[in-house]
Chains A and B, each alone.
Chain A
Amino acid sequence: MKSLLAAAAVIVIVLLALVSLFIGVGDVSWAALFSPSPDERALQLLVISRIPRLLAVMLVGTSLGVAGLLMQMLARNRFVEPATAGSAESASLGVLAATALAPQLPVLGKMLVAACFALAGTALFLLILRRIPLRSVLIVPLVGLVLGSVFDSVTTFVAYRFDLLQSVNAWKTGDFSTVLRGRYELLWVTLGLTLGAYVAADRFTVAGMGEAFTTSLGLRYSRIVALGLVIVSLVTAMVVVTVGMVPFLGLLVPNVVSLFMGDNARRSIPWVAVGGAGFVLLCDVLGRVVRFPYEIPGATIAGVIGSVLFLFLLLRRDARVG
Chain B
Amino acid sequence: MIEAKNVTKRYGTALVVDDVSLRLPVGGITSIIGPNGAGKSTLLSMISRVLPMSSGNVLVDGLDVVTTPGDVLAKRLAILRQDNHLTSRLTVRELVTFGRYPHSKGRPTVKDQEHVERAIQHMGLEALSARFLDELSGGQRQRAFVAMVLCQDTDYVLLDEPLNGLDLKHAVSMMKQLRTAADTLGKSFVLVLHDLNFASCYSDHLIAMRDGKVAFQGRSEDIMRPDVLRAVYDLEIAIQHINGDWIATHYR
A residues with CB within 8 A of B = 73, 76-78, 137, 201-203, 205-206, 208-213, 215-220, 258, 262-264, 266, 321
Q: How far is the CA of A266 from the CA of B104 in the complex (A)?
A: 14
Q: How far is the CB of B88 from chain A (nearest CB, A)?
A: 4
Give B82's nearest chain A residue, CB to CB: A212
Q: Is B226 interfacial (CB-CB < 8 Å)?
A: no
Q: Does A215 lie within 8 Å of B70, measured CB to CB?
A: yes
- Interfacial chain A residues near B89, Cβ < 8 Å: 258, 262-263
Q: Is B203 interfacial (CB-CB < 8 Å)?
A: no
- Interfacial chain A residues near B98, Cβ < 8 Å: 202, 205-206, 209, 217
Contact of A217 among B84, B102, B134 (CB under 8 A): B102
Contact indicator per residue, chain B 111-144, by CB within 8 Å of chain A (1) or not (0): 0000000000000000000001010000000000
Task: Tell me how many residue pairs across A and B have CB atoms closer than 8 Å.
Answer: 76
Q: Does A212 lie within 8 Å of B86, measured CB to CB?
A: no
Q: Does B50 lie within 8 Å of A217, measured CB to CB?
A: no
Q: How far is the CA of A213 from the CA of B88 in the complex (A)?
A: 13
Q: Is B48 interfacial (CB-CB < 8 Å)?
A: yes
Q: How far is the CB of A203 from chain B (nearest CB, A)?
A: 8
Q: Does A264 lie within 8 Å of B90, measured CB to CB?
A: yes
Q: Does A76 lie within 8 Å of B74, measured CB to CB?
A: no
Q: Does B106 lie within 8 Å of A219, measured CB to CB?
A: no
Q: How far is the CB of B78 from chain A (nearest CB, A)?
A: 6
Contact indicator per residue, chain B 67-106, by CB within 8 Å of chain A (1) or not (0): 0011111110011110010111111001000110110011
Contact of B50 among A76, A211, A219, A266 (CB under 8 A): A211
8 residue pairs from A and B, CB less than 8 Å apart: A73-B88, A202-B105, A209-B86, A216-B80, A217-B98, A218-B72, A218-B101, A218-B102
- Interfacial chain B residues near A216, Cβ < 8 Å: 48, 50, 74, 78-80, 149, 152
Q: How far is the CB of B49 from chain A (nearest CB, A)?
A: 6
Q: List 17 extra interface pairs beyond A217-B102, A262-B94, A263-B90, CB under 8 A.
A: A77-B87, A137-B87, A202-B98, A202-B101, A202-B105, A203-B106, A206-B101, A209-B98, A210-B86, A211-B50, A212-B45, A216-B48, A216-B78, A217-B101, A220-B70, A262-B90, A262-B91
Q: How far is the CB of B104 from chain A (nearest CB, A)?
A: 9
Leading 7 A-B pairs by shortest Cβ distance:
A218-B74, A202-B106, A218-B71, A263-B88, A218-B70, A212-B50, A262-B89
Q: Does B87 lie within 8 Å of A78, measured CB to CB?
A: yes
Give B95's nearest chain A residue, CB to CB: A209
Contact-size category for B: 20 to 34
- Interfacial chain B residues near A209, Cβ < 8 Å: 86, 88, 98
Contact of B134 among A202, A210, A212, A321 (CB under 8 A): A321
Given contacts A208-B87, A258-B89, contact A215 B50 (CB under 8 A): yes
- Interfacial chain A residues near B134, Cβ < 8 Å: 321
User: Most B CB atoms within 10 A — which of A209, A217, A220?
Assistant: A217
Q: How far is the CA of A201 from the CA of B94 in the complex (A)?
A: 13
Q: How far is the CA of A152 from the CA of B27 in the complex (A)?
A: 59
- Interfacial chain B residues near A258, Cβ < 8 Å: 89
Q: Does A208 lie within 8 Å of B88, measured CB to CB?
A: yes
Q: How far is the CA of A211 from the CA of B72 in the complex (A)?
A: 17
Q: How far is the CB of B154 from chain A (nearest CB, A)?
A: 9
Q: How far is the CB of B179 from chain A (nearest CB, A)?
A: 23
Q: How far is the CA of A177 from the CA of B152 in the complex (A)?
A: 52
Q: Does A262 lie within 8 Å of B71, measured CB to CB?
A: no
Q: Does A266 lie within 8 Å of B101, measured CB to CB?
A: no
Q: How far is the CA of A73 from the CA of B79 in the complex (A)?
A: 21
Give A223's nearest chain B residue, CB to CB: B70
User: Most B CB atoms within 10 A — which of A201, A208, A262, A266?
Assistant: A262
Q: How far is the CA of A1 from the CA of B235 in the complex (A)?
A: 60
Q: Does B101 lie within 8 Å of A219, measured CB to CB?
A: yes
Give B148's nearest chain A residue, CB to CB: A213
Give A202's nearest chain B residue, CB to CB: B106
Q: How far is the CB of B121 from chain A (nearest CB, A)?
A: 22
